[in-house]
Amino acid sequence: MDSTSPPTYADLPADLQLLAACCDTPVSSEGKAKLERLVAGVSNWRLINQSAARQQVQGFIHDRIGAMEAVPSGIRQNWLNEVRRAAQLNLRQAQATVNLHQKLGASGVPNLILKGIPLSAQLYQSLTIKRSGDIDILVAPEHAWKAARLLGESGYFPIETRRPLSEKQTASIVRHFKEITLINDANIIVDLHWRMIENRGILAGIDAFANAGRVEIGNLGHTSVLGDGDAFAYLCAHGALSDWSRLKWLADVNALLEGRSDSEIEALYAHARSMGAGPCALQALGLRELFWEKPLPSSCRQELETIDEPDFLGYPLERMLQPYRPASSRETVRRITRQTKVRSALYGSNFNAFTEKSSHLRALPDILALPLPAWLDWLYVPLRPIFWLMRKVRS
């Protein structure tokens, strides 16, 4: 693929074309005919199976083509087993999601659930089509300490220490990171967020709690979620800043936009742009057109064409096709170089992209070990190699 020109649908490998068709929604008669054509052309079902796992879309592919006789029985059984495992995990996650959401709310901590089980229920009316790996809970920064305490009462502690967070630790973590990962004895993972995106310029000014919606989780209860405009902006920002390296994230944006008119999509884009997530939304819309041949509204296309970065759509496609983690140090450097150029377009400047990279100079284990007051935060950078060496010696 020529990185100087935008990729087209013909540039997608056959396995990714099939996976994309399986992820499209709703399933129309035209879509079914397309799936049958793509299935008939498959020569390597092992590759399809591996690609579905890499993109984390096994539930979609089982739902759409799992009953077709052209699919080898062993492959079909593999997808069925994965769907059953996902269903068991998701049921536990769904119950925990509702319980934690309600516990925090009843204790005076307003909270929203990001992505996960509620999003699947909202977009696909299914709790099994996507496997939920964790529970993302958003609270206001001023409620982070109270939320951490309440989650600790329910058995959720930082994955690094398995011990309760102190108020000093929480205050320091909130200054430097957007979230902390907690885990309980049943290995249910909670990402406690006080900010949705690491870069403070993206989703700036979002009033998530004022615009919140509500989703019913089967007969288990309900959770509060982002409203449609905020959800679109967040899903685009999250996907873009994850390089769209898994097809499942793009599938969610496609499902959220399904059935909306050009004017409605333009309004969603304008909302995302007002919060600094305009380039992320344009990238999502461009990739949606690439994978599902659903044209952008003309005004969005005009803005997409003003982005002066040849890799703006090509790099995310390449990331989907690569192993999730780099295979070598050389590949890591190459990936970071291309990523930084695309991030510059997403952030609006090279300086903002560099600032994001420099944020990785601080490490969560260091802050947990030594929660400093704000005026001493600069010490974390020179102390990092010392903390790293101490951890290596202890291990």
For the chain, what are the domain ranges? 362-395
Supply the pLDDT for residue 298. 95
Integer distance in angstroms from the first to the last C-alpha of the chain? 45
Contact 161, 117 (CB under 8 A): no
pLDDT in tens, 73-95: 999 999 999 999 999 999 999 99
Spatial separation of the C-alpha atoms in residues 383 and 390, rounded to whole Å: 11
Maximal CA-CA distance, the chain: 66
Q: Which residues of the chain have pLDDT under 50?
A: 2
Contact 189, 183 (CB under 8 A): yes
The two structure tokens encoding residue 83: 């769907």
Supply the pLDDT for residue 360. 66
Spatial separation of the C-alpha atoms in residues 318 and 17, rounded to whole Å: 14
The answer for 219, left when phi > 0, alpha when psi is -120 to 50, beta otherwise, is alpha
Supply the pLDDT for residue 328. 81
pLDDT in tens, 149-202: 999 999 999 999 999 999 999 999 999 999 999 999 999 999 999 999 988 889
Per-residue H/E/C for 312-348: CCHHHHHHHHCCCCCCCHHHHHHHHHHHHHHHHHHHC
- pTM: predicted TM-score of the whole model, two decimal places: 0.93
Supply the pLDDT for residue 226. 96
Spatial separation of the C-alpha atoms in residues 282 and 257, rounded to whole Å: 13
- Which residues 6+ apart lie within 8 Å of 165 measured at CB? 145, 148, 149, 152, 157, 158, 173, 180
Question: Among the residues of the chain, which ranges form H helices?
Answer: 14-23, 29-40, 45-55, 58-65, 73-106, 116-124, 144-153, 167-176, 228-240, 247-257, 262-274, 278-292, 298-304, 314-321, 329-347, 350-358, 364-369, 380-394
